Structure 1
């Protein structure tokens, strides 16, 4: 159905694709896999008309595409759902779904009944929300399903899912899978990009692997396995995904929360965060984990008491939290975590201006110190960038996440709050982040992590507090910290080891 033939692409003199060639058959699901920065998103941008290749060509139904653009791609039956949302938060769900493709009758837009036209699409993707709700009021996972409904309006012959399940819980992922199966049965094709390897092996017919902008192999799903794909992705064996846990320490808690309550989100949450420990907040999506982090980070009004190093601590704003040594790395990195229009240098320097500028009223940034700081952070977290001057929007998702985390390290926070720190990140980068978090904890930080990945929580954390309907229902550590017990508590709300 579609072929990518010998495609090359460079940005600012940096070659990101080298003679990329692969094809997509009618009625198949093709997985496109590779580390962050391997070139996956660039390939997809060429197929959807957002970019044009420097050389090579894209062939659709046996004919090379010419003057390609997003509009022509949609007209040709190519739809896409990306990890980074493109919804207008101030418009309703229905308005977002039909944006650019409004239903008409007799040449007139059927705006009055737009919500009714949207309901069948929402049902198809398993989303039970009022179509008249403003999109910005929905949780991230539900917004991602609205993006899928939006892509289905044009009845695509080829649907591209670029990390489209990264913010979804298990039930929502199954809804996406149903749509994929329906498309395959109708002889339409799907390109899936996901760092959840189990999803790719569950749904794909073939897997094409990219490494450093080149195709290293295409495998039939039945003829390969997880370890083979990882080797092709990173060019080496991957061992020790999670770091070893240190022996338990007797250090007293750095931060203590009692009865933490955010109206409409969580209530009566008790937490203790100690230096050297990584604590996880588990449970199904939307059980209040995000709001706990935002309350501690000064982003949500809350009741209850919080003590930091034995003293009352009430952060009324992010500035308050930062001054007290509490750093927050949010889930939505492009909106809250980094400034995508600014350079890597600017993002890394921004939280550290007080230390980079001399203490005077006419303070200016000491450029030498800034350069050394930025270079050290890029080296330490292995940020793949053409130069510190490169815009963050030009980085892969994994490297954007590294920037979102790296910028706080020079501030030496006592408490580090991370929401979904490896969402949409390849296995090699995940390993780097896991080992960095353990290194930071060993250095004296108290770390609190939320994640929808049960394996991640079990492998990384010293203890996991399981949340259900806004409160902590169980705490797992030692031999009790298993995926089975974590899932049981998350689903039933009961004590896992009862």
Structure 2
């Protein structure tokens, strides 16, 4: 149980940047042995608050106490001296060093004047063994998956013996099994009296791990509640100021729309046969656990990964095994699940990223059929307004934008051409409810314009509320196909494991 004396006290914390008040008199407390969730939309002030606590920059005004002592943090190193460790969305690992070298960076075991690399490897192996997470500690970080890098960051924080642990969207890159491992690690840290600040948009995780939830909106404190004091719908309303039924818009279905994309007997690695029709004017939802084949099916159909058998037909034409660019040119828009690895040019501006969708538009050409910067600017500005991207963001490097604004830019690219089929793979991963509502309205607009829409998602409420028809994947096969009132949570959950039991 958490102790009654606050481990962290932040009182009237205000942080201003030129022309912007990011935090406006926010109070926040963290108890020893507590998991305290920070909840809010992108831009609500969550990252600013934990940046103040982790020493990234000082507050403009307000008081900070650790264990009852007034402190003024001057740097991240200073924060670490006070027992504060943060695992941010953007990792701090050195990619060219090994896992063990990253874990012990700055605190290497020594043998006389030399680093004891053997001891480093032995201790790193013990650390991951204690965490019950398999890891090759001699592997260089650059060779690891994002989920493995996430666990290295967490192991590094655990190794630092921090008494205050900040986890920023820690499960965004993890499978269900890896998430359970993380939750176990968090519970063990709680039992040792560690105070944990947990930032996540995944409301469904809170009841499994949290004690209290603090909600921020527009840099202000809205309130702090016990984890069981509010329903998920109440939390969403507290965060956004809107009822949850305003988040998911009703989408009118076009009856008997023509089949635009058809998959027959499609097989690929991890997919053992899929028959799916995608119709105009309809939202087709695709659900399933991580590893079920729900995403690989579409990546194989679009030529992103090889398909080994079956056929794909687009608007009546056999396009089986064709390269991805053929689909893009013939009217298919694909939004990948990892916007940073596959979707965006992170070193380019937001405008340049949006402009990628305009290259083949005739009205973006000027003299001698060459691309016209002026015409492209006008079109991109109209798209930005459509997806609710501020003019101020267009000239900024897109890697500096929030996840929600990055996703809006990626959606914006889909309005660069007149596509017939839109395939959205995890369309709202890592974005807040306010941004979700905006993206869902765009999906509604696309479907009601007569386009075919596929929404592949690990977020069950998302696919249930958006889909007219839903296919469920289990162990590489379609285990259920539902529509209308038959799209029921219990039916879907049973279908998640239908083929798992058969192949066990």
* Alignment TM-score, normalising by the size of structure 2: 0.86
Note the 1:185-200 alignment, pairs <5 A.
Answer: 185-200=191-206
| Stretch of structure 1 that moved more, 63-72 or 483-492 | 63-72
1:320 alignment partner, one of 326, 329, 334: 326
CA distance in 2, matches of 1:262, 1:138: 24
8 Å contact from structure 2 (residues 24, 220) kept in 1: yes
Match of 2:372 among 365, 370, 373: 365
Residue 24 (structure 1) aligned to one of 30, 38, 59: 30
Tell me which of 418, 422, 428 is aligned to 1:422.
428
Distance (Å, rounded) in 1 between the aligned partners of 2:495 and 2:134: 25
Q: 306, 312, 315: which one pairs with 1:301?
A: 306
Q: 1:365 to 1:125 in 2, by over 3 A?
A: farther
User: CA separation in 2, counterparts of 1:262 and 1:100?
Assistant: 45
SS in 1 for 2:243: coil
Are the equivalent residues in 2 in contact too, given 1:59–1:65 (CA < 8 A)?
yes
Query: Is residue 443 of structure 2 the alignment partner of residue 443 of structure 1?
Result: no
Residue in 2 aligned with 1:465?
471
Pair 289,364 (structure 1): closer, same or farther in 2 beyond 3 Å: same
Distance change (3 Å), C-alpha of 1:294 and 1:38: same
Cα distance in structure 2, aligned partners of 1:246 and 1:158: 49
Of 282, 285, 289 in structure 1, the residue corresponding to residue 287 of structure 2 is 282
Instruction: Indicate the SS of the match to 1:340.
Output: coil
What is the rounded CA distance, in whole Å, between the counterparts of 1:114 and 1:267 in structure 2?
A: 44
1:301 CA displacement = 2.8
Structure 1 distance, partners of 2:71, 2:420, is 55
**How far apart, in 1, do the equivalents of 2:172 and 2:404 lie?**
13
Which residue in 2 is equivalent to 1:291? 296
2:394 matched to 1:391? no
Secondary structure at the aligned position of 2:252 is classed as coil
1:249-264 maps to which residues of 2 (within 5 A)? Answer: 249-263=255-269
Q: Distance in 2 between matches of 1:98 and 1:330?
A: 35
Q: Partners in 2 of 1:485 and 1:172 — Cα distance? A: 25
Alignment of 1:6-405 (within 5 A): 6-11=12-17, 13-56=19-62, 58-66=64-72, 68-86=74-92, 93-94=99-100, 96-99=102-105, 101-104=107-110, 108-112=114-118, 116-128=122-134, 130-131=136-137, 140-247=146-253, 249-263=255-269, 265-304=270-309, 305-314=311-320, 317-355=323-361, 357-358=364-365, 360=367, 363-367=370-374, 369-383=375-389, 386-405=392-411
C-alpha deviation, 1:31, in angstroms:
1.2
Structure 1 stretches lacking a partner, 5+ long: none
CA contact (8 A) 1:121 1:149 kept: yes
Deviations 1:85-112 (A, max 9, x none): 5556676555554555545555644435
Tell whether the 8 Å contact from 2:307 to 2:321 is kept in structure 1 after alignment.
Answer: no
Mark the runs of 5 or more structure 2 residues left unpaired by the alignment: 1-6
Map Cα deviations across residues 444-467 of structure 1 (whole Å, 9 max, x no partner).
222222221222222222233322
SS in structure 1 at match of 2:359: helix
1:239 is paired with a residue whose SS is helix
Residues 418 and 448, structure 1, Cα contact 8 Å, conserved in 2: yes
2:482 corresponds in structure 1 to 476
Alpha-carbon spacing, 1:180–1:447, altered in 2? closer, same or farther (3 Å): same
- Bigger drift between 482-491 and 62-71 goes to 62-71
Report the TM-score, using the length of structure 1 for normalisation: 0.87
Partners of 1:267 and 1:136 lie apart in 2 by 32
Q: Tell me if structure 2 keeps the 8 A contact 1:345–1:388.
A: yes
SS of 2:481 mapped into structure 1: strand
Distance 1:360 1:318 in 2: 30
- Distance change (3 Å), C-alpha of 1:167 and 1:479: farther
Q: Is the contact between residue 489 and residue 495 of structure 1 (CA under 8 Å) also seen in structure 2?
A: no
Provide the aligned C-alpha RMSD in A. Answer: 3.1
Which residue of 2 is the match for residue 409 of structure 1? 415
Contact 1:454–1:487 (8 Å) recurs in 2: no
**What is the number of residues matched between the two proteins?**
494
Which one is further off, 80-89 or 325-334?
80-89
Residue-by-residue CA offset, 1:38-72 (whole Å, 9 max, x unaligned) = 12122222322333434445433344544632333
